[in-house]
A = this chain, B = another copy of it.
């Protein structure tokens, strides 16, 4: 970076599984690659720079793609199977862009949570290159990217159990309790009881109500809430511990 030639480590890459929530569905950001008329979809990723941190590489990939910095990033697994490249279409693709396409590359995978709204401002050209794919409707991806995306989804679900903090990275700065509940329902995969949900949320001091309400909706307007990270942190330092 910084203008000079950027040297890559030929055996290590970083891939990112970017999650977003549009108010209804959880989606994954894919990039489109045109190859002989066909479209192939893949996770955003790149080789690791020789003088580059793993975390920096993940940030670089995401900010190149979305223009966003300062987003939630979590490394979750390295994938190094010898047969990561089994599909002939992938091999053909690599032979165009890599010096040693046959060599095994170990990829360090990250998942990332972004507020989908922040992205809607991007230029149209952006919409040509990328796609938000709902997590429950997977589509075939390049390399072992389906496996990586599925693992990311599992890990995210586990994470939310222990650190519900992360869920808020998927919501806009201010949100309604209905949105929050919808997000949780997407993650746990079941419907939750509205009253019990709200009771629990309101017991958590880090979800703070604002004196602002929806407008222009054809029903009673909902109150907005926001997440207070500092209250959250002090609450969770005295973290509980469950056995079984």
Contacts and interface: CB of A to CB of B under 8 A. Distances in A.
Interface of A: 9, 11-12, 48, 50-54, 75, 77-82, 103-104, 106, 108, 158, 161-162, 164, 184, 188, 190, 192, 197, 200, 204, 241-244
29 contacts: A9-B11, A11-B12, A12-B80, A12-B106, A48-B80, A50-B103, A50-B104, A51-B82, A51-B104, A52-B82, A54-B78, A54-B80, A54-B81, A54-B106, A75-B77, A75-B78, A78-B78, A106-B108, A161-B162, A162-B162, A164-B243, A184-B243, A188-B241, A188-B243, A190-B241, A197-B243, A200-B244, A204-B244, A242-B242
Residue among A75, A80, A106 with max Cβ neighbours from chain B (10 Å): A80
Q: How many of these chains are in the complex?
A: 2
A123 to B, nearest CB: 33
B53 A82 contact: yes
Contacts of A104: 50-51
A241 B164 CA distance: 12
Given A51-B104, A106-B106, A162-B162, 15 more contacts: A11-B12, A12-B106, A53-B81, A53-B82, A54-B78, A54-B79, A54-B81, A54-B106, A75-B77, A78-B108, A158-B162, A161-B162, A197-B243, A200-B244, A204-B244
Nearest to A12: B106
A72 B89 CA distance: 36
Contact of A243 (B81, B158, B200): B200
A103 B51 CA distance: 9
A54 B51 CA distance: 23
A197 B241 CA distance: 14
Contacts of A241: 161, 188, 190
Nearest to A201: B244
A143 to B, nearest CB: 16
A116 to B, nearest CB: 22
A53 B184 CA distance: 36
A241 B184 CA distance: 11
Contacts of A200: 243-244
A244 B106 CA distance: 35
Nearest to A54: B80
A203 to B, nearest CB: 8
A70 B142 CA distance: 32
